[in-house]
Chains A and B, each alone.
Chain A
Amino acid sequence: MRGPSAAAPAFAAALAFCAGHALPAAGARYAPDTAYAAVMPGAVPTFPADYGSHDRFRTEWWYVTGWLKTASGKPLGFQITFFRTRPSIWRENPSAFSPRQLIIAHAALGDPTRGRLWRDQRIARAGFGLAQADAGDTRVWIGDWKLARANDGAYHAQVAGAHFSLHLTFYPTQPPMLNGASGFSRKGPDPEAASYYYSIPHLRVGGEVVRSGRRDAVSGEAWLDHEWSSAYLDRGAIGWDWIGINLDDGGAVMAFRIRGANGTVRWAGASLRDSGGALETFAPSEVAFTPLRQWKSPRTAISYPIEWRVRVGARRLTLRPLMDDQENDARRSSGAIYWEGAVRASEHGKPVGRGYLELTGYGAPMRLR
């Protein structure tokens, strides 16, 4: 019993810092560090500098999701995420162990043929070169887990978890897509709840995956999200639904909504880039998520709406999961349980694309702490 699950309490507790997959530790007993940089409208991300880490912001993540297929044509879904969070500590501590930044990583590999989801996670305080998120370009690692952008623009990712590992390279085929107002993405009625956010859709994937000791060359298509913020969610939010879909015609759709208590929707947003590269962004009123089918996790008894109709402007996408059980379970502490899975998108009964769906805040324990 020395698997990754042993790390769950610390992992999930630290996740509580990451607006990404849990909620800010608002209940901390000491005043937060006020030195966080604020997300302001009008500051447009520039590259390559903004590929890198933004240490002065509270939370940041690089999120790669995508579809793979093996030589035999069997589909697989994968997720590789690196989080960076800047804890509220007294920063004058000269100790090299001082947790100025925490780095967290999460990886999952779903195999619908076997009906299996492998997942693992890492967490460490940055320091000693053992874990770090570099500024200037994407280069983030914890031990031997890493995601790095090379000079040619390709991303190299490597994670070796319990019974599976991913060695993948992502080749950009399109420029970054700036979400929201040129990369300024609001997350709630309070204008301070916002992030800088860009996506890179249609990453071509090459590499190999190892599942329970079996090595397979894979290829596929992925999606990268890079987002940083100091106040991601406002206080009324309990979770969100998110999709990132690579459309078969070369277009891309990103849509999200932030949910409040009692089924209210506090905010929503979407980006749609057509095959020609024309980008359209949408106001909350233009985005709607309608659940079609619930799936109840046999492990956690949490019900997730895993089939959806999503309206983005004039588009009406129907989303169906690659497999029902793509729940990520870090239950052993803070209740950071979420569903993150590969989905197929169809429109008017015809398949139009593939991507990932993320559902957070559906578990009862998932609430502001």
Chain B
Amino acid sequence: MGARRARGGALGVWRVLLVSQIREQPARPIISVLAIAIGVALASAIFLVNGAALAQFTRAARRLVGESDVVVRGSRDGFSESLFPLLARNPDVAVASPVLEIDAALPGRPLPLKVLGMDPLRADQMQPALIAGVGAGILDLMRPDGIYLSAAAAAQLGAGRGDALAVIVGDAPKHLVVLGIIPADVYSQPLGIMDIASAQWFFDRIGRLNRIDLRLVDGRDPDAFRARLQRTLPAGIFAIAPRAERDRAATATRAYRVNLNMLALVALWTGAFLVFSTQSLSVLRRRNSLALLRALGVTRAQLERALTAEGALWGAVGGALGLGVGALIAALMLRLFTSDLGNDQLRIVGASLAAQPLALCAFFAMGVLVSAFGAWLPARAAARIAPARALKGGGGAAAVQSTAGPWLGVILCLAGVGIAWLPPVAHLPIFGYISVAALLFGAVLLVPPLTVRLLRAAPHSGRVVLDTAIAQLRDNVALSTLSLASIIVSFSLMVAMAIMVYSFRVSFENWLTRLLPADIELRVPIGSGTSYWSPEDQAKIAAVAGVERVEFRRTRQIDLAGARMPVTLIARDLTRAQAATILPLVRTVHGAAPPNARPAWISEAVADIYGYRPGGTLMLPLAGWAHRFYVAGVWRDYARSGGAIVIERADYLAATGDSTATEGAIWLAPGQDGAAVVAAVHKCFARPDSLEIRTSTAVRRHSLRIFDRAFTVTYAIEAISVLIGLAGVGFAASSTALARRAEFGMLRHIGMLRGQVIRLLAHEGVVLSTLGVLYGMTLGVVLSLVLVYVINRESFHWSIDLAIPFWQLSVLGAILVAAAAGTAVWSGRSAVSQDALRALREDW
């Protein structure tokens, strides 16, 4: 009985509060709702776009993996086909399906076409859906120059049935005939399918395979079989579980996606903070109504519940709104742009939004919780004030004063610093994120005690307005704290992200300079596994007039572990002595290498992902054999997130006998014209699209453009966070001003001029926001250290050097101070314009 009445009572209280809130201050809930809505919209939009791309990606990958139990995979260059009959005869194997995967370079196209050479008669039992898409054309497919294109590939290339398709093989273009189109509902991504015999012949890979799909006899344990098989496979060939094969790309981009989601959550938390400050002020504003309710017999718990529920309600409305807006943004992004969110590895066509009810519910719940939490803190404080005291108008500060002492803040900050040193979890910087959260919360908790101490310590300047302003701030420390915290949270995040992106960009530029020492860069069409320059081609290029020196490199993909993305092997002309000047080394081995050791320089990603250390041994699969190399150093590589390994070209040649090249750098003779040399090099080849040749300057410009594109989303989210923060600042200022009408009345009453009161407010704003900016800047720098050295390092496996954009940050800080002062003046003006006496009389 009693309990039910109490609940009924709470509901009644809630209704009273809600109605009065909406009636008196309709803008306040709108701000809270909007803040939560923006956060939820951002988080859900990013999640949906990512999810759509990933789902499409995984679906396509699943089609390619089909029904195989084990995928045996070598690098792009593959392995001898003699492995195939061995596996096909294995008594545990029901079906073995040989595959030659090729990234075919297409003249004039930036991206290669993925071509699968398959035996459709066998693939039919592995990838039935895919082969069914080829349908009755299977025997047509045996035509040696025949290819089936997926609908997406046909659309991209503008090719139809019967058309010729030019492909670069070696340095010469050859032509395939499009035999038919595989419908989009069978396979949605760009793909070509050829008969395996045709693919081997056409692409000059006779005797080579790079994948064999296996289906086991019913009842065999695939994992046990895989482990057993792995022990017998030659170096560089891996037996992989289909799920790992399916998730390769997804795994590679996971850190990137998690980072984006985290950024979106930052926006949501900033929104939560806005809820907190608006609710705090709203509680303050309704202090006497609340006290009246308490006097009328509403219990402390009822009041606390009612105020928290009010916050939850705004959260729910905002959350629902945010989900709608988020879905809309996501749909627009998918419609208007590619859905890769700036990441090439996620490039996918035809991604469509799929309802992800669980995740969306989670975002909604997060919006509600965050908002309820933001409301609960001031609610708890407000409920504690004795009604009599509140009715008299006292205890304003106590209403919002944090009950947590400085110790919690100190502990959180220390914990944040400590946690940052913990290692990554599953290749994700989980502790980095926790560290940032702890530092942020701890720092905010430290705001009140620090503010009090700072204001107390402030010396008298002798100038009336400034001293009064500081005195006023000191007396209203709770209100000041709120405004400060808004500034600090948004500004510190902004600073941290700005520093990280700036550091990355500076490091990237320096790295580019180091990597592009020559005047002209040339390479075979990007991403292609099918084109290269023969030694004769290389000689022709070297003989071009005006070329002083040319360095050729051979790059190829190798697998160091089956379930990971391939690693790029770069064989180039350098010695151990030169390496330090040529490569952007971050770690080297001091002391002598073992005698006859072949040096390898690994990128940071290789060191991180595979655990190799400088001075250690590295086994590289070359030409089917594991070759022992000595890790002579670790270098920084921003270009190949899967990792890269540099070895001496002589070692590569000795191990493989392969003297072809895929990249080169040209140093011009003094006084030579780059454009003329570029033209002359082009003339060495039958077709201009046998190679991409650009000046280093152009490469550099292009790379930076790509860099900026990749960070567009980051910039956008950052800007939104800042806007939310600024809204918080402005709103806090206007609320404070309104709440202090009586105080202004008193000041006028004791003789202060109207202009002086406004100047007083401006001073308050400047003092407060300067404090906030300085504090936020300090916090931001600390946070940026975590971002740069922990989160970035562990997410992307490359290091960046800290660089602080002082100029940029100063301008931003100044804008923030000006904005705070401006809003203070603007809101103060309306508050002061009232009749002083009436304001004073007002019993708020």
A and B bound?
Answer: yes
- Judge if A181 is at the interface, Cβ distance under 8 Å: no
- Judge if B62 is at the interface, Cβ distance under 8 Å: no
- Would you give the shortest CB distance from A34 to chain B, in whole angstroms? 16
Chain B, interface size category, equals 20 to 34
Known: A9-B124, A89-B144. A128 touches B84 (CB 8 A): yes
- Would you give the shortest CB distance from B641 to chain A, in whole angstroms? 34
- Judge if A58 is at the interface, Cβ distance under 8 Å: no
> Residue A99 contacts which of B89, B131, B197, B215 (CB distance < 8 angstroms)?
B197
> Residue A93 contacts which of B98, B138, B201 (CB distance < 8 angstroms)?
B201
- Contact A17–B139 (Cβ < 8 Å): yes
Q: How far is the CA of A90 from the CA of B207 in the complex (A)?
A: 18
Known: A98-B197, A128-B88. A123 touches B121 (CB 8 A): yes
- Contact B206–A99 (Cβ < 8 Å): no
Q: How far is the CA of A90 from the CA of B98 in the complex (A)?
A: 21
Residues of A within 8 A of B144 (CB): 89-90, 93
- Contact B206–A95 (Cβ < 8 Å): yes
Q: Which of B85, B136, B207 has the most CB of A within 10 A?
A: B136
Known: A93-B197, A99-B197. A130 touches B143 (CB 8 A): no
Residues of B within 8 A of A25 (CB): 139
- Judge if A102 is at the interface, Cβ distance under 8 Å: yes
Contact residues, A79-131 vs B (CB, 8 A): 87, 89-90, 93-99, 102, 123-125, 128-130
- Contact B121–A124 (Cβ < 8 Å): yes
- Contact A97–B98 (Cβ < 8 Å): yes
- Contact A13–B196 (Cβ < 8 Å): no
Known: A95-B201, A128-B85. A9 touches B195 (CB 8 A): no
Known: A97-B196, A98-B197. A125 touches B119 (CB 8 A): yes
Residues of A within 8 A of B89 (CB): 130
Q: Mark interface residues in B123-141 (1 if CB within 8 Å of A CB, else 0).
A: 0110010011001101110
Q: How far is the CA of A2 from the CA of B217 in the complex (A)?
A: 11
- Judge if B692 is at the interface, Cβ distance under 8 Å: no
- Judge if A29 is at the interface, Cβ distance under 8 Å: yes
- Contact B139–A13 (Cβ < 8 Å): yes
Interface of B is mostly: helix
- Contact A87–B85 (Cβ < 8 Å): no
The tally of residues in A whose CB lies under 8 Å from a CB in B reads 34
- Contact A28–B140 (Cβ < 8 Å): yes
- Judge if A30 is at the interface, Cβ distance under 8 Å: yes
Known: A9-B135, A95-B206, A130-B89. A89 touches B124 (CB 8 A): no
- Contact A96–B81 (Cβ < 8 Å): yes
- Contact B124–A97 (Cβ < 8 Å): no
> Residue B138 contacts which of A9, A89, A129 (CB distance < 8 angstroms)?
A9
Contact residues, B65-120 vs A (CB, 8 A): 67, 81, 84-85, 88-89, 98, 119-120
- Judge if B286 is at the interface, Cβ distance under 8 Å: no
Q: How far is the CA of A333 from the CA of B125 in the complex (A)?
A: 15
* CB-CB nearest in chain A for B67: A2
- Judge if B55 is at the interface, Cβ distance under 8 Å: no
Q: How far is the CA of A93 from the CA of B196 in the complex (A)?
A: 11
Residues of B within 8 A of A123 (CB): 121
* CB-CB nearest in chain A for B215: A2
- Contact B196–A16 (Cβ < 8 Å): no
> Residue A130 contacts which of B88, B128, B207 (CB distance < 8 angstroms)?
B88
Q: How far is the CA of A339 from the CA of B122 in the complex (A)?
A: 26
- Would you give the shortest CB distance from A290 to chain B, in whole angstroms? 35
- Judge if B142 is at the interface, Cβ distance under 8 Å: yes
Q: How far is the CA of A23 from the CA of B131 in the complex (A)?
A: 22
- Contact B119–A30 (Cβ < 8 Å): no
Residues of B within 8 A of A90 (CB): 143-144
* CB-CB nearest in chain B for A128: B85
- Judge if A368 is at the interface, Cβ distance under 8 Å: no
Sample (5) of A-B pairs whose CB atoms are under 8 Å apart: A9-B138, A89-B142, A95-B201, A96-B207, A99-B197
Please name the 3 residue pairs, one residue from A and one from B, whose CB atoms are nearest each other, closest first: A97-B197, A128-B85, A95-B197
